[in-house]
Amino acid sequence: MSLLRDQGPLTATRAAELLGESSGTCSFHLRQLAKYGIVEEAGGGTGREKPWRATRSMTDVPAVLDDPDAAEAAGQVRAALAELYFDKLTHWLRRRPDEPAEWQEAASFGDRHLYLTATELAQLKRDIADLIATYEHRRFPPPGSREVTYIQLAFPS
């Protein structure tokens, strides 16, 4: 999903090359993701040479699922994403000293402990989503911009 968002439409073959997986595995997973509306055919091509694109600009795994199998799958997706996010974070932290000072200062790393009700936490999540939405629909990157990964985590301690 992230690869399709970052690289644009990709075939199963190209995704396999970038991920170090087989094209058959990528083709299978792309079809599964399409079943749930997470990716879609981008038009053109056939079979494993058919391009796919992400349908969303963010990853949003449903919070509550009634089907135990779907809930288990969602849990596995969350765990895989957490690993991916923290790999990206670790990569940034290693290269951070070599980055320009303005990017080191602009980046954020830290935590805050808040006392919130479930209603307040849900409102905070909506408020942050509204703020981020002002940036995520840019068609062209502004001069001096870089792609930024914004990871949002909020959970009861």
Tell me: the pLDDT tens digits for 81-108?
889 889 989 999 999 999 999 999 999 9
Mean pLDDT within 68-76: 85
Which of 54, 71, 45, 63 lies closest to 3 in space, CA to CA? 54
pLDDT at 57 over 80: no
89 falls within a domain: no
145 falls within a domain: no
Per the prediction, the chain carries an average pLDDT of 89
Q: Partners of 150 in the beta sheet?
A: none
pLDDT tens digits, one per residue of 106-140: 999 999 999 999 999 999 999 999 999 898 878 78
39 falls within a domain: yes
Question: What are the CA-CA distances from residue 122 to residues 22, 54, 65, 82 (Å)?
Answer: 40, 26, 17, 20
Long-range contacts, stretch 151-157, CB < 8 angstroms, 24+ apart: 151/85, 151/89, 152/125, 152/128, 154/121, 154/124, 154/125, 157/113
Placement of tokens 């391009």 in the chain: 51
80 falls within a domain: no
Q: Residue 23: give the domain boundaries.
A: 2-54
Question: What are the CA-CA distances from residue 118 to residues 62, 71, 111, 128, 157 (Å)?
Answer: 16, 21, 19, 15, 13
Q: Taking the chain, what is the end-to-end CA distance rounded to the nearest angstrom?
A: 29
38 falls within a domain: yes
How many domains would you assign to the chain?
1
CATH number of 50's domain: 1.10.10.10
96 falls within a domain: no
Q: Judging by beta carbons within 10 Å of its beta carbon (0-12, 13-18, 19+), is residue 84 exposed, middle or buried? A: middle
91 falls within a domain: no
42 falls within a domain: yes
